[in-house]
Amino acid sequence: MCGIVGYTGLDQAKDILVDGLKRLEYRGYDSAGVALEATDGAGDSRIDVVRRVGKVAGLESELVGVDSAATCGIGHTRWATHGRPSVANAHPHVSCDGRIALVHNGIIENFAELREALVRRGHTFMSDTDTEVFAHLIEEAYDGRPADAATGEPARPGCHDLMGAVREACTHVVGAYGLAVVCADEPGVIAVARKDSPIIIGRGERGSYVASDVIAVIDATRDVVVLEDGQFARLTREGITYTDAEGNAIEPAVTHIDWDIDMAEKGGYPDFMLKEICEQPRVVRDTLVGRMTGGELDIDELGLTMEELNLIDRVYVIACGTSYHAGLIAKNLIEMWARIPCEVEAASEFRYRNPIITPSTLVVAVSQSGETADTLAAIRDARIKGAKVFGITNVVGSPVARESDGVIYTKANKEIAVASTKSFIGQVVSLTLLALLLAQVKGKLTTGQVRLLFSELGNTAEQIQWILDTQEEAIHEAALACKDAHSALFVGRGMGAAIANEGALKLKEISYLHAEAYAAGEMKHGPIALIDRDFPVIAIATKSPVYDKTVSNLKECEARGAKIIVVATEGDEDIHKIAGHVIYIPPVRDAFSAITATVPLQLLAREVALMRGCDVDQPRNLAKSVTVE
């Protein structure tokens, strides 16, 4: 979950790389660096590497003093996996002679044994990273490899061809990589390789571009190649060629990107998180567009016939983090409406748990980024076991989309803030549609009932807008009540219990305040012991079949002096008797309450984080997509 970018063309590369890295910073911000191809007075070319711990802005100021006419270079923004954030561990990494430099997104699982062999064969390592082995492997393939007494392997001549050397090096590596490599002996050339890590390649009027995400190159081109696993590319000022692992020429498909760059700008908001929270009414509307045609629910991307759908007798939702919480909402709806057993599984556990899967099992993989490693691996595992896999993702052409039998795209567009908000709402709306369709196919809901529920689902867009327009003060006051706490509990019952999980995660990940979610009824079985004077208990107590039970649980907390903050249904005046702070949402069917009641919790977390001086868009230690196990 690093970001890599590369450019070779007619213009100076330095600023193009820095702008690209700024757009990719949501992928990791522990350190940043660039490698620029330079030519000295005698016309000899070399690689200048500039690296800095921390955000891209730091690298940018470091580069101010660097007068580089280089028109070819690569850049990286890092999310540390192997080796703590430091200049030595920052990318780009170089070969022993400094003539080969590379940036990498991914993890090399067998790096320890490769490193040991390379050291044995005389290479010197400058970092603790896994990535650096790539630089030395490419160096050996390019310049030649000495005999290895320990393995008895004979010396091997170098191929003195960057593409050949990169392909050769990849044959030794186990793991995931999005890789861009430059070499002083081949000025103007960038070699690119991809396996299980996103790589986008584009050709613009002023040159050739490579990046981890289209957002870094969209200014230059809207027609990009999403490189597939095992494919390689050679970028020059003049053009781009592609090969497979054997070096055979290939012609990958070109994808046209239809969203505009404004999506990647703050649009006048103080941060991306608030901007994206305020986009949620649009996300609900856009995700529902074209879903009810001729009075019938339409999810033809499902890739399953009505007969196959009717045979489904078990549903697994597999996901991580916030997407997992969307799964918790879906479980309630699928079991309530379609009467099909539904398990929600953390993808990182699912893949090692050997779950019971049969051909009539539907696995729903939910992922905003579409590239979360655990979710991808769980998909592959489920397919091997014979399940039908349906993907719900926000990124067109992402690995989750490509590796699922069918896919729905949440129409949230680009989500930049690391804390997922609008994509969660898009996921819940999409999962609600799936639950409605399963219920209709199973004959548990009539077409008329589905139409009624569909129109009520559509109303949640303006209900979110009402919350955004009217609850700012109440949320601010509630945040003031939480900002100095050391810990908080989020509680609810039924749908509220599922929503509480997302509320707690949002507060944890952006304000670094410890928070736990608990089914309200479970409080008295232990967690209530945590409560003392002023301990924040944030409750989802909207009108629902379990409202009264929730209120009585809150009274138990109030009796212990808890500071009670409640998300309640507009018009519920009684709730003020037990809650010091009340945030209202419009009346909504309990089944849809997750779509509206989550919004105040997103805003509350943001306010508390701002009051605690945290960076709400780029919280510490996190990255937007987690492409390693």
- Which residues are catalytic, by number? 2, 624
Cα 141 from Cα 122, distance rounded (Å) = 14
Residue 469, φ and ψ in degrees, nearest 5: -80, -25
Which string of b and e fits 75-104 if b means at least 16 CB within 10 Å? bbbbbbbbbeeeebbbbbbbbbeebbbbbb
| DSSP β-bridge partners for residue 381 | none
Q: CB 155: neighbour CB atoms within 10 A?
A: 10
Percent helix, percent strand, percent coil in the chain, to nearest 5: 40, 25, 35
Nearest to 192 by CA among 265, 276, 134: 134
| DSSP β-bridge partners for residue 414 | none
Q: Which residues bind ligand AGP (CB under 6 A)?
A: 320-323, 367-369, 372, 375, 418-420, 509, 625-626
Helices in 334-446 by DSSP H: which ranges?
347-353, 373-384, 399-402, 422-441
Over its C-alpha atoms, the chain yields an Rg (Å, rounded) of 26
Closest chain position to ligand AGP (CB): 321
Omega before residue 341 within 30° of 0, cis:
no
Contact 11, 61 (CB under 8 A): no
**Total count of residues recorded for the chain:** 629
Contacts of 10 (CB under 8 A, 6+ apart): 71, 206, 207, 237
Locate 153 and state its tokens.
């392997």
Contact 48, 17 (CB under 8 A): no
> 159 or 263, CB closer to ligand AGP?
263
**Chain centre distance of CA 323:** 10
Contact 628, 105 (CB under 8 A): no
Contact 539, 492 (CB under 8 A): yes
Cα 212 from Cα 219, distance rounded (Å) = 15
Cα 321 from Cα 330, distance rounded (Å) = 15
Q: What is the dihedral sign for C-alpha 189, 194, 198, 202?
A: positive
Locate 227 and state its tokens.
């490189």
Nearest to 90 by CA among 136, 121, 46, 59: 59
> 57 or 622, CB closer to ligand AGP?
622
The CB-side HSE value for 406 (13 A sphere, CA atoms) comes to 16
Q: Can you list the positions of beta strands (E) in 160-254?
A: 177-183, 190-195, 200-204, 207-211, 223-226, 231-235, 240-243, 249-250
